[in-house]
Structure 1
Amino acid sequence: MSEKTKIYIALGIVYIVWGSTYLGVKVALHTLPPMLISCTRFLIGGSLLFAFTLLRGQGMPTLQETRNAAFIGVLLSGVGNCAVAYALMKMPSGLVALLVATLPAWMILLDFLFFSNAKPTVIGTIGLVLGLVGMAVLLNPSQQIGQQEVPVLAALIVFLGSIAWAFGSLKSPYLVLPNSLQSTAIQMVVGGCFSLTMSIAFEKDQLQSFQNMTTETYLAMIYLIFIGSYVGYTAYVWLINHAPPQLTATYAYVNPVVAIFLGWIFLDERLTSRSMLASAIILAGVVMMTLGRKRPPKEIDMQ
């Protein structure tokens, strides 16, 4: 299988799997607060995955590899996810998603300033703008802003989380990391510890929330751990080490589209004409960003 084919398969996995986790999170939020969901998901998932790698005889990673993977884990599953979780407690989810959708712009900017110094192509830039326009049409932020004042601090925290996620994604290929599965496991565990700290600081009644868990909550958490984390996060970790950042970041546009269609299929949520139009604009933007992408960087030996 060619490298190009692997990249598109990994992209498809991240698009669909992470888009589908919105369903799982919606169900889990009925009984658990958002940052507690993140820490439970990553701590359990990461610990089981690391134990699995040891059973396969992979051995312990070196101190340098562990430290590097932990650093990426703090930025991605730690700061990145907690920023979104905190914002969800302060503002409408649609508005949070719109702020998170600026991730491709942060990745392209940081990549130009600190890493490859490669300017985006004209086609890629047009695709980026189309993606932002599509997200604006999809989420209709003017209506949400009119319904509720936007907390400035929460919005700034979302941007900080997106910058941390973008920097971690760009930095990863330059670091010596364990093999893919162990790197994913360490990142999840460290991110889970960070999320646990934030949950203790900002959320209340964690033990009572666990006691209130229903069968649906357990099923949602199982899905988030085994599909969202193992399949989706592992694919993303591989992707950030093999694909251009502007291509990898397109998941931020596609995931809300996938979530809307899955909500329409499984939760009988209304699919409006505006959603259809916005989805078409977003997908057109993704296609243009894909066509305008740079050649993937030289593959780095991660062993």
Structure 2
Amino acid sequence: MNFFNSYKSNLFLNLILVYIIWGSTYMGVKIGLNDLSPLLLTGLRFFIGGVILFVLILFLKKLPTLEEAKGSMLIGLLLTGFGTSSLAYAIQFLPSGLVALLVALLPIWMFLLDFLFFSKTKPSILSGSGMLIGLAGVLFLFNPFGLNGGINSTQISPIFIVFFSSLIWAFGSLMSTKTKQAKGIAGLSFQMLAGGTFAFLASMFLESNQIEEIQTMSSSTILSLTYLILIGSFIGYSAYIWLINNAPPILTSTYAFVNPVVAIIVGFYIANEVLDSSSIIASGLILLGVIFMTLGRRKKGEF
């Protein structure tokens, strides 16, 4: 009973951390992009964070085995390398709340990949209904059919990049449970180092003026980068890693429904982004979808 209560407490604590912290990082990335190119920003965020943690594990003398290090680097390459770098690029061209809403399709990708290639587990009726309700909220706010103006031609490519990023992220999350990795801060360190190195290499080929951008960073960019490293990565990312290794995939993916609500609120108060009646209605639908998905997992006795 004590183990169950401890697991349950950790589960909801990590869910809340990912819900709130990652919802706020969309605006942090948006601010950082005022001075830094997207791949450079991603590289700095994860490489610096990875180095800090690596120094710590050297001090604690808790280096992982070569096999564990390789496993952690593979997952880091998929999640923070391909996944986060793609999002950072796309967020230049789309409002932060809209990017979060596109990422809200993650539960669909997570379920499909899990069902086809991993657990073969079907969702309960409540969980399936929750996915549909959450998706309805995304579509209501995103308005892909152009009922109120819709998307413009310059946003089509970034939207597909976000979809690609979500698929890679979903696959990497599911692979994490099947891959031998280092535990604790050692695992986080090697994941972040792999993702940050990939982003730096991609920046070398696809971007320019990196040294000048770093030298001319504004105080707001430095603060946003600090927030992304200390809060977004150390706390938010570590909470997500715990979830993908300890919680049902569909439940873990509910963060993608809640993050848009947080991103929209943060965008409204910090960057004066639009918060209209459609946003409020869509947020309500999204939260209702999360509730149904959560109740669906509880009914099946998975937490």
1:214-258 deviations in Å (ceiling 9; x for gaps): 111111111110000000000001110011111111111111110
Structure 2 runs not aligned, ≥5 long = none
The residue that corresponds to 2:65 in the other structure is 62
Q: How do 1:31-46 and structure 2 match up within 5 A?
A: 31-46=35-50
Matched, 1:82 2:85: yes
TM-score by length of 1: 0.90
Superposed displacement of residue 296, structure 1:
4.1
Structure 1 runs not aligned, ≥5 long = 298-303
Given that 1:91 and 1:151 are in contact with CA atoms closer than 8 Å, whether structure 2 keeps it comes out as no
The residue that corresponds to 2:286 in the other structure is 282
Superposed displacement of residue 174, structure 1:
2.0
Structural RMSD (CA): 2.0
Distance (Å, rounded) in 1 between the aligned partners of 2:193 and 2:284: 37
Counterpart amino acid of 1:236?
A: Y
More divergent stretch after superposition (207-216 vs 261-270) = 261-270
DSSP-derived class of the 1:70 partner: helix
Given that 1:242 and 1:296 are in contact with CA atoms closer than 8 Å, whether structure 2 keeps it comes out as no
Identity %: 47
Superposed displacement of residue 127, structure 1:
0.4
Counterpart amino acid of 2:176?
A: S
Distance (Å, rounded) in 2 between the aligned partners of 1:3 and 1:138: 35
Change (3 A) 1:82 1:176: same
The residue that corresponds to 1:22 in the other structure is 26
Counterpart amino acid of 1:215?
A: S
Given that 1:92 and 1:144 are in contact with CA atoms closer than 8 Å, whether structure 2 keeps it comes out as no
The residue that corresponds to 1:261 in the other structure is 265
Given that 1:46 and 1:188 are in contact with CA atoms closer than 8 Å, whether structure 2 keeps it comes out as yes
DSSP-derived class of the 1:292 partner: helix
- Which residue among 107, 115, 136 is the counterpart of 2:139? 136
Counterpart amino acid of 2:227?
A: Y
Counterpart amino acid of 2:66?
A: L
Given that 1:263 and 1:269 are in contact with CA atoms closer than 8 Å, whether structure 2 keeps it comes out as yes
Superposed displacement of residue 267, structure 1:
4.2
More divergent stretch after superposition (114-123 vs 286-295) = 286-295
Superposed displacement of residue 155, structure 1:
4.1
Given that 1:11 and 1:248 are in contact with CA atoms closer than 8 Å, whether structure 2 keeps it comes out as yes
Given that 1:24 and 1:221 are in contact with CA atoms closer than 8 Å, whether structure 2 keeps it comes out as yes
Change (3 A) 1:135 1:151: closer
Matched, 1:220 2:224: yes
How many aligned residue pairs are there?
295
Q: How do 1:153-302 and structure 2 match up within 5 A?
A: 154-293=158-297, 294-296=300-302
Change (3 A) 1:94 1:139: farther
Counterpart amino acid of 1:190?
A: A
The residue that corresponds to 1:301 in the other structure is none
Distance (Å, rounded) in 2 between the aligned partners of 1:269 and 1:155: 19
Superposed displacement of residue 92, structure 1:
5.7
Distance (Å, rounded) in 1 between the aligned partners of 2:13 and 2:74: 27
Superposed displacement of residue 286, structure 1:
0.3
Counterpart amino acid of 2:72?
A: A
Distance (Å, rounded) in 2 between the aligned partners of 1:146 and 1:163: 21
1:120-179 deviations in Å (ceiling 9; x for gaps): 111111100111111122333435644335445x44443332221111111112222111
